[in-house]
Amino acid sequence: MKHLQQPLLRAALGLALAAPVAAAWAGDLKLTGEQEVPPVQTMALGTGSISVAEDGTVSGSIKTTGVDALAAHIHHAAAGSNGPVIIPLTKGENGSWSVPQGTKLTPDQMKAYRAGELYVNVHSAAQQSGEVRAQLKP
């Protein structure tokens, strides 16, 4: 029986390794005021998931609570610093924000993403530079 299991295990492993990778990163985000630069004291929170495919296609959404958000974006900067907007998110209902369909990172933005230099944050009237933030980690 053991001699039958090894070829099956090798075949399954081979299929898993040969399968295309759909996303370079897809993970849960927790946006907090503590991650803003400088840190912000707020009761606001954000949660969600942003995915980046190997070809640079970006998808996903976040949802905020405890904040009357005016805008949400993906920015280019390392943790501990602020940077320019590269992707404006689209406002939905009840504090939801989504990546516009068909959004794709440039090759330079993909390099920044792989280096951990992209973040998502949400802006409010009280905190115009950002109320909650989370770094995207490949």
Q: With 60 as the cut, is the pLDDT of residue 12 above it?
A: no
For 99-127, b/e burial (b = at least 16 CB within 10 A) is beeebebeeebbebbeeebbbbbbbbeeb
* H helix runs in the chain, sequence order: 2-18, 107-114
**What distance, in Å, lies between the first and last C-alpha atoms of the chain?**
41
Q: Which CATH number fits domain 21-136: 3.30.310, 2.60.40, 1.10.3680, 1.10.1660?
A: 2.60.40
Distance, in Å, from the CA atom of 122 to the CA atom of 69, rounded to the nearest integer, reads 6
Q: How confident is the model at residue 138 (pLDDT cuts 50, 70, 90)?
A: confident
pLDDT at 22: 45
59 strand-pairing partners: 51
pLDDT of 21-37, one tens digit each? 444 555 689 999 999 99
Domain spans of the chain, in order of start: 21-136
pLDDT at 33: 98
Do 95 and 127 contact (CB within 8 A), yes or no?
no
pLDDT at 26: 56
pLDDT at 36: 97
